[in-house]
Amino acid sequence: MDLGLDETYATPLEVVDGRLTGRTLFENEPRWKERRCEGLLRAAGREIVDALVAFGDSPSDISILERVGRPVVLNPQPAFEAEVRALGWPVLRDGDDVAAGVRALRHEPAWNASRALEVGA
């Protein structure tokens, strides 16, 4: 599946007949995404941070989502959805064309890029 991204770091997702099923092939250890993101952010300049896309689905992902230029929330619970919509972050759900949604982000301004570099620093 072409998301239009140069590189990805993610839990491997199951693909059947070229479509994501919504199931993971295995679960990463807790905080894996956060540690991986920290390493990328330390090595990246503003242009890279602005281009970074991060996916999350729960409040535990906020620390990652608020630090990248392009946060995306997948299948959030109602309270979390209200919070991220108030921030203006895109919300995608099962059945949405995730690849098209991510490709469209490339044409949108980065989310609060100056804050993305400051949060958690």
pLDDT given for residue 64 in this prediction: 82
From 86, 43, 47, select the one nearest 70 (Cα to Cα). Answer: 47
Phi, psi (degrees; rounded to nearest 5) at 35: -65, -40
Whether the pTM exceeds 0.85: the reply is: no
Copy the structure tokens of residue 21.
Answer: 């099923």
pLDDT tens by residue, 20-57: 787 877 766 667 777 777 777 777 776 777 777 888 88
How far apart CA 71 and CA 15 sit, in angstroms, is 23
State the pairing for strand pair 70-74/91-92: parallel
pLDDT given for residue 28 in this prediction: 65
pLDDT given for residue 73 in this prediction: 92
